[in-house]
A and B are shown apart, each in its own frame.
Chain A
Amino acid sequence: MEQLCDNSLGWSVVSQNKMVVYALIIINKAGGLVYQRDFAEGLNKLSINDYLVLAGTFHGIHAISTRLNPLLPNDTPSTTSRPLPPSGIEVLETENFRLQCFQTLTGTKFLLFTEPQQPNIENIMGMIYGLYADYVMKNPFYSLEMPVRCEGWERRLVREVRAVNSR
């Protein structure tokens, strides 16, 4: 009986710590969808058209959210450095999932859908960005701003995310 209790406790702890990455979306700097992949159940499946609409919508909202900055911009004129521009949406929290958005300096956006309470998303995002740099940007046959169809990227990405999901 005691063992059973222990087991059930152990299971609940394990299931709480389990990390789930639901999906990854990459949006190019013009707001076009260049990559979309589901890794786990949990989000609704949309048609490819809906994903394109979603990418464009998010691109627009991201731009608007930079303009909604309630703080005064720092108006002290400085000749040495330009202040960092206000960032757009970084984390979106909902009851069903958590959306982490990472925008590279060149304007490409990585959207990572995870469980609501998932920690260390930055690490996963960094890992994915590294893979993207290695397997997509360094691929001589990849044309910029176009949909990502690279076998190596696909293989490595699925392997790494699967490792995260089953950790």
Chain B
Amino acid sequence: MTCYSFYIFDRHTECIYSKLWARQDRPLSAGIDPSSIPASNGGAQSDLGPARARPARLSAQDDAKLIFGTIFSLRNMVRKLGGPDDRYIHTYAHTTGNGPRKWEKMLIQRNSFISYRTGQYKLHYYETPTSIKFVMLTDTQTLNMRNVLHQIYVNLYVEFVVKNPLSPVEHPGGVGVANELFELALDQFVKGVL
């Protein structure tokens, strides 16, 4: 099992954290000298002409945007198609405030989209009720990682980002998310799980 990358998107659709693992490991394991890659890369593209005209790689930012678009569309599609009980979870929340205490029905949109798999990788998805989205790309053999993403949210994100008194409430541009403790704990957690 290998974990390739991990992304967090906030409720304003912005990618507030991304981490890539193992992307550079593959040429080494395939037995190719890393120094020869740029040369062979350029050669292959000019040799094979228009059939391989697609650009080699996207930048990490573009990757994050594409991933967000994908999960957003898939989530809406799944929500639309899912059975009649998919739309909401009915929970009862204890209202706070000055008025008389009573139970009130709360409607939370439930997210039934779990993961998708292609021939090359598998994308796992978890969304919190505050619509922070956690996405992880792993190899295709990995089983369900939703609970792992939930653990990352509960044990790492809440502990080290939300409870950090110095971090802002929102994280425009990823401010406050990529602090040292969070990064270290995430790295250890992912290495421990896989």
A positions within 8 Å CB-CB of B: 42-44, 46, 50, 54, 57-58, 60-61, 64-77, 82, 86-97, 113
Contact = CB atoms under 8 A, between A and B. Distances in A.
Contact of B47 (A64, A77, A89, A91): A77
A95 B116 contact: no
B69 interface: yes
Contacts of B47: 77
B149 to A, nearest CB: 14
A69 B44 contact: no
Nearest to A23: B81
A65 B135 CA distance: 14
A87 B122 CA distance: 12
A152 to B, nearest CB: 28
19 contacts: A61-B74, A64-B70, A69-B120, A70-B23, A70-B121, A82-B48, A82-B51, A86-B118, A86-B119, A86-B120, A87-B118, A91-B116, A92-B115, A93-B117, A94-B113, A94-B114, A96-B83, A97-B83, A113-B81
A60 B66 CA distance: 11
Contact of B77 (A57, A64, A68, A70): A57
Contacts, number: 122
A77 B148 CA distance: 39
A75 B37 contact: yes
A91 B23 CA distance: 23
Nearest to A69: B120
A38 to B, nearest CB: 11
Contacts of A94: 78, 82, 112-114
A76 B26 CA distance: 13
Interface of B: 4-5, 20, 23, 26-27, 30, 32, 37, 40-41, 43-44, 47-48, 51, 56-58, 63, 66-67, 69-70, 73-74, 77-78, 80-84, 86, 112-121, 123, 137, 144
A90 B83 contact: no
Contacts of B113: 92, 94
Contact of B66 (A68, A82, A92): A68
B40 A75 contact: yes
A60 B70 CA distance: 9
Given A44-B80, A64-B66, A70 B4 contact: yes
Contact of B120 (A75, A76, A77, A87): A87
Contact of A54 (B56, B81, B119): B81
Contacts of A67: 58, 66
**Among A50, A69, A87: residue with most chain B CB under 10 A:** A69
